[in-house]
Amino acid sequence: MIISVCSHCKSKKSENLSQAQLVECLKAGLDNNIKIQQVKCLAACEHAISVGITDTGKASYLFGHISSNDDVRALIEFTMQYKNRLNGWTNASERPKALYKKTIARIPTSLFEPQ
C-alpha cells in the first residue's frame, strides 16, 4: 500500500498542519509496511492538502482538504479499513465521518492484466 501526500500546494484552511507534519503523523500511526511518500502533485490543487491511497488490485482514493488532527485520525482509520478490504472498495457511509465530504475520487482497480 502507498499513501501519497501532495507536497506542492498549500492549504489555505490549515495553518496548523503542514504536509511534512501530516506525513510524520501518518508514519507514527500506521504500520511500517505502508509506504508513505510526498509527491510533487496529485492534480488536486483546489483541495490542498490532498492525499492518495492506493494498493495493487484495489480501488484507489483521493482525499482533499486534509487540515486537522481529526482528519489525520480519520485517514489512519480509513487506511486500516482499506487494508482489510480485499478490493479496497468502501461506500461513503462506511468511511470515517471526517472524510465524508473530503473524498475527491474513488478510482476502481484496473481489470487489465499485462501479458
CATH class in words for 2-107: alpha beta
Averaged pLDDT of the chain: 90
pLDDT in tens, 35-47: 999 999 898 888 8
Least confident of 14-23, 48-57, 60-69, 86-95: 14-23
Report if pTM > 0.85: yes
**Could you give phi then psi for residue 29, rounded to 5 degrees?**
-100, -5
Report whether 79 contacts 32 (CB < 8 A).
no
Domain locations in the chain as residue ranges: 2-107
Residue 13 pLDDT level (bands cut at 50, 70, 90): low
d(CA 74, CA 95): 8
Q: What are the CA-CA distances from residue 76 to residues 20, 28, 29, 114 (Å)?
A: 16, 10, 7, 32
